[in-house]
A and B are shown apart, each in its own frame.
Chain A
Amino acid sequence: MMAAAYGLLPLAALLTAVATAAIVFALGDARRRQRTFWNLFGAGTKLALVLLMAHGVLQGHTLEVAWPALPGATLRLVADPLALLFAVLSSLLWLITTVYAIAYLEGSGQRARFFGFFSLCVAATFGVALAGNPFTFFCFYELLTLATYPLVVHRGHSAALAAGRTYLGYTLGGGAALLAGTAALYVAVGEQPFTPGGMPAVAEWADRAPVAATAVLALLLGGVAVKAALFPLQGWLPAAMVAPAPVSALLHAVAVVKAGAFGVVRIIEDTYGYALAAELHVTPVLSALAAVTIVYGSVRALAQAELKRRLAFSTVSQVSFITLGVAAGSQLALIGGLAHLVHQGLMKITLFFCAGNYAETLGEHRIDALNGAGRRMPVTSAAFTVAALGMMGAPPLAGFISKWYLGIGALAQGQGWVIGVLVASTLLNAAYFLPILRRLWLLPATRDWPARAGRAEAHRGLLDPVLLTATAVLLAGLLAATPLSPLGWAARIVEQGYPGL
């Protein structure tokens, strides 16, 4: 009875998000209070369900639902620890971002459409997290593309539409590659569930036809590399900056880029298995691409004058740490990569929230206009400082923990050059974040900003989410050694799922 109830949890959580979307669409633009209630109710319920799922997994229950969709293809949702890492992150940040978005978009039009697609986007992310086989993964992955497009073009002006076209061009191209790869995989080995360490059938097939297996792996990885913004497929990400701040925050921290990075993990670790991917000479290429992306994104970030654009290139760079951790091929590096999946999400969502606060409260988008903003908006600026230092990898913040594990994990595999990449990334991050901190805190204000309305420096709905996520960045690093920290959870995933790595 109990076990059966647990089994239904994944479906219930997915339906919560879908139902929220449906209700919000049905309510229309006018009924603001009801929409706010349903938004928060949906996000809260889903978070509670996901936490319940995490509890169930800790108890040792199997959480799985499956139903046939096409002949030979099943939609299958499984809550393994890896899925939950992503699902907890996305549900938690969805709730926080909903609070933020409600405050941010107050008074702007088309909010029903916005929040409806917002919920759909999170439902798709949840599906990506819990997908139990390549077909399910592909379905939700494409749903994610379609659900985010209206968010990217939300403002509706010509620049937004152009960015939306770029976004669709890249992601649909990637989707096509992923579809081709998935179909080829199904033709070759039939339907197989994601298996930690790789699908045995794929290993047999690769023995028989290594060239075909390599080609399919390249197609699959090419498909997810678009969303993971791996060089040279990162072009859409800075363009998508035209979206409103909460969308950028969600896109960069959780939904889109993370779906790509998560796909890399699923394909390398659970479809082919690291050993096979290394045998097919794919992982060295992947490491090299990740390293190039890390440095390239940081170098481009240096030259950006607009805060959100700088953050966008920073995302390009930071997300590749996850890929790097997967491709390094040691347990420690994989732990670092998976922990960074959460860490980068927390840090980047904080940074985008802060950028949104500066834009919304002060009307500033450019970095050189932020002189002295620390005095006017101390809480926002303190949160920005914490997240930026975390990105640099300064201890005791989250980013340091990721770098520590990635570094020692790569060295364990004899890949000393990764240390060079980590160090270069730290220096470049310092070069593009520290000047912002200097402007915020040390330079005198040069602009006349609107005076504070009341005691708070900004709307509470804009401020509390920033405080929460910045605190999480701090705690994820400070309490890294505890079992329920992102690092602790990542270590559990790797120890249970990939003991042979």
Chain B
Amino acid sequence: MSVPEPLLLLPILAPLVAAALLGGRARRLGAGLLAVAPLTGLLALAPGAQALELPWLLLGTRLAPDTLARALLALTAPVAAAACLAAAGGYAGPRRSGLLAALAATVAALMGLLLAADLATLYFAYSAMTLAAYPLVVHARTPEAFRAGRIYLTMALLAEAAVLAAVLLIAAEAGNVALAEAPAAVAGHDRRGLLVGLILVGFAVKAGVVPLHAWLALAHPVAPVPASALLSALLVKAALVGWWRLLPLGEAALPGLGAALVVAGLLSSLYAGLVGVTQRRPKTVLAYSTVSQMGLMTVLTGLALLQPAAAPAAGAALAVFAVHHGLAKGALFLGCGLHGRRRGWYLLPPALALAGAPGTSGVLAKAGLKEVSASVAEAALGPLLFILSALTTLLLARFLALAWRGDGGLDPLPQRLAVLALVALGLVLPWGVGLRLAPAAVAYALQPGVLADALLPVIAGAAVAAGAFALRGRVGMPRVPEGDWIKPALLAGVRLGRAARRGWRAARRASGLSAPRSGSLRRSPGPPPGA
């Protein structure tokens, strides 16, 4: 079966059409349509496809899904559909249409990002996604939500400035290059070091590489549940798309930057795991877990940058990892929106998968990571990965302890359905993608010895968690604010500003200028000098 090429536009247009219907009289139809619109993304997976050329659009648009895009489309379609279903059928809070419209816009931009096959369209979709996600973050309209939104948008736009510079640098040499040729263009660029640095930094904010992860920890807890599912399961993966489309992976070896990226990923993973354990809100714990898992995906990218020969294997492992993590995290976030007393049972399978319990997709994802890291960095990463696995188990135990019991309200059927669908898909889909892209990793993950290997860190993490549970109340958990460094840093900035102003006034008084130039002080809101 081959798909007519114009249908490649459907995943982008369908959510927008649904959103347009939301404003009018066909509100219910629009909401219903929105819940199925993301599934049109599966059209791009049909064999025999496909590239859609729209030379009149923008700077000559080309849509064509490649291997990575297909894997991520297989993830995005069901997760986005589940999030939209949960929002359309289960969200009863204020500004429902606004939430649905913002979800639709974000999904359309995501689909565009995955399908884009030229530089300008990629940048278009990426920046549209950044802006579309802002209303999701601030949906609650509380001061807390606006603060999170401000930090999200500031960090995202500063990063996007780096992306814009990188895009223009590439375009200056190669024009609106097809993305399939972009890595080669970057590899042969006059200013390759600068360019690669810009690409790394530009997408690192979305990927949540520590210390650029602060927005994640603030935005996820305040956003409505379907929105945070979308952010955590899919939006952060957009950074991986950016990296894998533009970095010269497989084209050139960049040992310095590659090693830096590996180290940054490992530190991210470790740091976010440790900070996440101290958190008190289940969604914040999950946000830190996302940062931690994205760290591992950053490691895979770094390894590919370090050694071009490992890039194909790293790409396949990354796709499997992303699908595994996206499904599990989507299910966990949507599960947080359930009210039932026994919602823990919904959360348990994806939590086990993330922890890497034997037989789950987590083993498969980690098998891919181990395989690639063994081929590049020998055994150096082995012990570290063990610790990280144990830490992940601890983190998810913390999450389950916080989130196990719901408040006992009633759950609408669509919402339960959405969670169940993702839980069930999480048991199957990563293996399917694995068989397709990395059959060796699947065979490896199913060996009996590996099952035992996978069990050890889980047991270690569970043991620590059990110990902590036994000691609860007697040993205090350190209090780390959400977004860890950002609040102290902003406070320090404010204090520094005040101190500087005070010091400046004192200096003026001391130098005898008791009557300052008219206007300069009258405008400042502080107390008059000498007060």
Q: How far is the CA of A441 from the CA of B102 in the complex (A)?
A: 12
Is the pair A481, B168 in contact by a Cβ cutoff of 8 Å?
no
Are B158 and A442 within 8 A (Cβ)? no
Residues B131 and A422 in contact, CB atoms below 8 Å apart: no
Contacts A411-B168, A422-B168 hold; do A404 and B56 have CB atoms under 8 A apart? no
Q: Pick the contact of B127: A395, A411, A478 (CB < 8 A).
A: A395
A103 proximal to B (CB < 8 A): no
Query: Contact at B168–A419, with CB atoms within 8 Å?
Result: yes
Q: Which residues of A contact B504 (CB under 8 A)?
A: none
Do the beta carbons of A481 and B164 come within 8 Å of each other?
no
Tell me if A394 and B127 are in contact (CB < 8 A). Answer: yes
Tally of contact residues, B, Cβ under 8 A = 27
The complex places the Cα of A423 from the Cα of B128 at a distance, in Å, of 17
Does B60 have its Cβ within 8 Å of any Cβ on chain A? yes
Task: Given A419-B168, A423-B165, A427-B161, answer yes or no on A479-B124 (Cβ-Cβ < 8 Å).
Answer: no
Q: In the assembled complex, which residues on chain A have CB atoms less than 8 Å from the CB atom of B171?
A: 404, 407-408
A332 shortest CB reach to chain B, Å: 9
* CB-CB nearest in chain B for A434: B153
Chain B residues whose CB sits within 8 angstroms of the CB of A367 once the complex forms: none
Residues of B within 8 A of A416 (CB): 191
B131 engages A411 (CB within 8 Å) = no
Specify which of A404, A416, A427, A480 lies most central, judged by the most chain B CB atoms within 10 Å of its CB.
Answer: A404
- Contact A408 B164, CB 8 Å, known A396-B124, A479-B57: no
B157: which of A420, A427, A444 is its contact (CB, 8 Å)? A427
Interface flag for A246 (CB, 8 Å): no
- Expressed in whole angstroms, the minimum distance between the Cβ of A371 and any Cβ of chain B is 12
- In the complex, per-residue mask of A393-432: 1 if CB is within 8 Å of any chain B CB, else 0: 1111000110110011001100010011011001100100
**Contact in complex: A404, B168 (CB < 8 Å):** yes
Within the complex, the shortest CB–CB distance from B234 to chain A, in Å, comes to 21
| Distance of A188 from chain B, by nearest CB (Å) | 39
A263 in contact (CB, < 8 A): no
Interface residue B59 (Cβ < 8 Å from any Cβ of A)? yes
**How far is B120's CA from A379's CA once the two chains are assembled, in angstroms?**
28
Query: Is B169's CB within 8 Å of the partner chain A?
Result: yes
Q: Is the CB of A427 within 8 A of B168?
A: no
A411 contacts across to B, CB distance below 8 A: 168-169, 172
The yes or no answer to B1 lying at the interface (CB within 8 A) is: no
Interface centre among A394, A408, A416, A478, by most B CB within 10 Å?
A: A408
Q: Contact: A419 with B165, CB < 8 Å?
A: yes
Q: Residues of A contacting B157 with CB < 8 Å? A: 427, 430
Q: Which of B115-169 contact A (CB under 8 A)?
A: 120, 123-124, 127-128, 131, 135, 138, 141, 153, 157-158, 161, 164-165, 168-169
- Taking the complex as formed, is B473 at the interface, i.e. its CB lies under 8 A from any CB of chain A? no
Chain B's nearest CB lies how many Å from the CB of A488? 10
Shortest CB distance B128–A (Å): 8
Contact indicator B161/A481 (Cβ below 8 Å): no
Residue among B58, B123, B135 making CB contact with A481, cutoff 8 Å: B58
Assess whether B519 is interfacial by the CB under 8 Å rule.
Answer: no
CB pair A426 B164 closer than 8 Å: yes
Q: Is B55 an interface residue (CB 8 A)?
A: yes
Q: Kindly report which residue of chain A lies nearest to residue B125, judged by CB atoms.
A: A395
Q: For residue B141, give the distance in angstroms from its CB to the closest CB of chain A.
A: 7
Whether A394 and B131, one on each chain, are in contact in the complex, defined by CB atoms closer than 8 angstroms, is yes
Determine whether A482 belongs to the interface, using a CB cutoff of 8 Å to chain B: yes
Given A395-B124, A404-B120, A442-B138, A477-B58 contact (CB < 8 Å):
yes
In the complex, how many angstroms separate the beta carbon of A145 from the nearest chain B beta carbon? Answer: 33
Instruction: Give B130's nearest chain A residue, CB to CB.
Output: A394
Interface size on A, residues (CB 8 A): 32
**Contact flags A478-496 to B (C-beta < 8 A → 1, else 0):** 1111100000000000000
Cα A416 to Cα B168 with chains together (Å): 10
Separation of A401 and B124 alpha carbons in the complex (Å): 11
Query: How many angstroms between the C-alpha atoms of A487 and B161 in the bound complex?
Result: 24
Separation of A423 and B56 alpha carbons in the complex (Å): 27
In the assembled complex, how far is the CB of residue B445 from the closest CB belonging to chain A, in whole angstroms?
41
B145 to chain A, nearest CB (A): 10
> Would you list which residues of chain B between 49 and 78 have a CB under 8 Å from chain A?
55-60
Per the bound structure, the CA–CA distance linking A420 and B198 in Å amounts to: 13
Q: Decide: A423 near B161, CB < 8 A? Known: A395-B127, A396-B58, A479-B57.
A: yes
User: Bound complex: CA of A430 vs CA of B175, how far in Å?
Assistant: 26
Interface centre among B56, B141, B168, B175 (most CB of A within 10 A): B168
Chain B residues near A404: list those with CB within 8 A. Answer: 59, 120, 168, 171
Q: Is the CB of B59 within 8 A of A426?
A: no
| Residues of chain B with a CB closer than 8 A to A444's CB | 141
A400 contact set on B, CB distance < 8 A: 124
Q: Which residues of B contact A389 (CB under 8 A)?
A: 131
Bound-state CA distance A480–B120 (Å) is 12
Q: Are A481 and B60 in contact (CB under 8 A)?
A: yes
The distance in angstroms between the C-alpha atoms of A68 and B168, with both chains bound, is 49
Q: Which A-chain residue is minimally distant from B126 (CB atoms)?
A: A395
- Complex contacts, A396 vs chain B, CB 8 Å: 57-58, 124
> Chain B residues near A401 (CB, 8 Å)?
59
* Chain B 184-201 interface 0/1 with A at a Cβ cutoff of 8 Å (1 = within): 000000010000000000
Complex: A434 Cα to B127 Cα, angstroms: 14
Q: Give the most central of B56, B60, B135, B164: most A CB within 10 Å.
A: B164
State A487–B88 Cα separation when bound (angstroms): 42
Nearest-Cβ distance from residue A344 to partner chain B, whole angstroms: 19
B-side contacts of A477, CB under 8 Å: 58
Measured CA separation A482–B141 after assembly (Å): 42
A481 and B56 contact, Cβ closer than 8 Å, known pairs A395-B124, A404-B120, A427-B161: yes
| Residues of chain B with a CB closer than 8 A to A434's CB | 153
B residues 78-100 near A (Cβ < 8 Å) are none
Q: Which residues of A contact B55 (CB under 8 A)?
A: 481
Q: How many Å lie between the Cα of A422 and that of B175 in the bound state?
A: 18
Instruction: Determine the chain A residues whose CB is within 8 A of the CB of B175 once the complex forms.
Output: 408
Q: What is the interface of chain A, defined by CB distance below 8 A to chain B?
A: 389, 393-396, 400-401, 403-404, 407-408, 411-412, 416, 419-420, 422-423, 426-427, 430, 434, 441-444, 477-482
Which 3 interchain pairs have the tightest Cβ spacing? A411-B172, A395-B124, A407-B168
Q: What are 29 contact pairs spanning A and B, CB under 8 A?
A: A394-B128, A395-B120, A395-B128, A396-B58, A403-B164, A403-B168, A404-B59, A404-B168, A407-B168, A408-B168, A408-B172, A408-B175, A419-B165, A419-B168, A419-B169, A420-B165, A422-B164, A423-B161, A423-B165, A426-B161, A426-B164, A427-B161, A442-B135, A443-B141, A479-B56, A480-B59, A481-B57, A481-B59, A482-B56
